Amino acid sequence: MLEKIGYRPEMSRWTAAGDATLGRVARADRGVLLVLTERGPLRCTYGGRLLGEVAADPMVAPCPGDWCVVRHWPDGRETVERMLPRSSALTCPGHDEVLCANADLVGVVVAARPAPSPPEVGRLVGLAGHSGARPLVVLTKCDQVPDPAAVAARVAEAVPAVEMIVASTATGAGLAMLREVVDGRLTLALLGPAGHGRSALTTALVGADLLPGRRASRRHDLVMLPGGGAVVDTPDVPATDARPPRAWQLRGVGGGR
C-alpha cells in the first residue's frame, strides 16, 4: 500500500528494529495520530522521545503527509517514536504549526467565476514555489463561465511557466488530467482561498465524500486516491485584501530536522 503514496526502498533503514513499522500520517488530532501502514491504518500516540522533541520545538509535531516510525508494544499500544526528514512543509508564520508535509505537487485552486485576480494567483503560485514541490494551477468551476479558455489565458499570463488544468467537478472536466499528474504515486496538496472548490475537487478525485465535518474542525487529512497517490486539502488561505489574523506560506525544508 505504501508504494502507492510515495514509499521508497531506502526508507526501510529507519525501521531496523523488529518491533517497528514505517507509516505515513493521515491525520493528526490533539496528539492522536492516524497512521497508514502495511498493516492497515493504526491509531497511535506520541512516544516518549517524540514528546520531548515536540516540547522543545512544536514545528516537529507530526502532521498529514509526514513519514514516521511506529513502535508496537506488547500491551497492544502503538506509538510514533520518530519522524523522517521532510522534503516540503506547509507552515503558518508566527504560529508553531506545520499543516502538510512531503507534498510532491501543490495545486493552486482558483475558481473561474468570479474572474480570478492574476496578481493573487501569482502570489499563491509564489507560495507554492517555495515549498520544494512542483506548483500547478487548477482553474475550477469552469462550467460556470461561457469561455473558460479565455479565463485560463488571462491567468496564464501571470504565471506563464506553470502548468494549468481547467476543471469542473460538475462536468468532470480536468479530473483525468489531475489523476494523470498524480501518476498513481505522488501527493497533491491543494492550496487556495475559501469557496473556490478545493473540497469538491478532493471529493471528486477520491470518488466519495470521506471527510464529513472536516471544515468545522479545521481537519485536513491525507486521503489515498483509488488509482494510487494521495491528496491533502489544506486550510483556507486568506486573500491579501482580507486582512487575516494569520498569514500563511509554504516553506521548503531540506535535509533533517
d(CA 253, CA 114): 35
Taking alpha carbons only, the member of 53, 108, 46 closest to residue 248 is 108
pTM, to two decimals: 0.85
Q: What residue has cell string 520518530?
A: 82
Kindly give the confidence (pLDDT) of every residue in the chain, 257 residues in length, as a single tens digit, with 9 standing for 90 and above: 899 999 999 998 888 667 889 999 999 988 899 999 998 999 999 999 999 999 999 889 999 999 999 999 999 999 999 999 999 987 654 556 777 899 999 999 999 999 999 999 998 898 888 778 899 999 999 999 999 999 999 999 999 999 999 999 999 999 999 999 999 999 999 998 889 999 999 999 998 755 444 443 345 799 999 999 999 988 887 776 543 333 344 444 444 33
d(CA 128, CA 163): 13
Identify the structural domains of the chain with CATH numbers, from first to last: 2-85 (2.40.50.140), 101-251 (3.40.50.300)
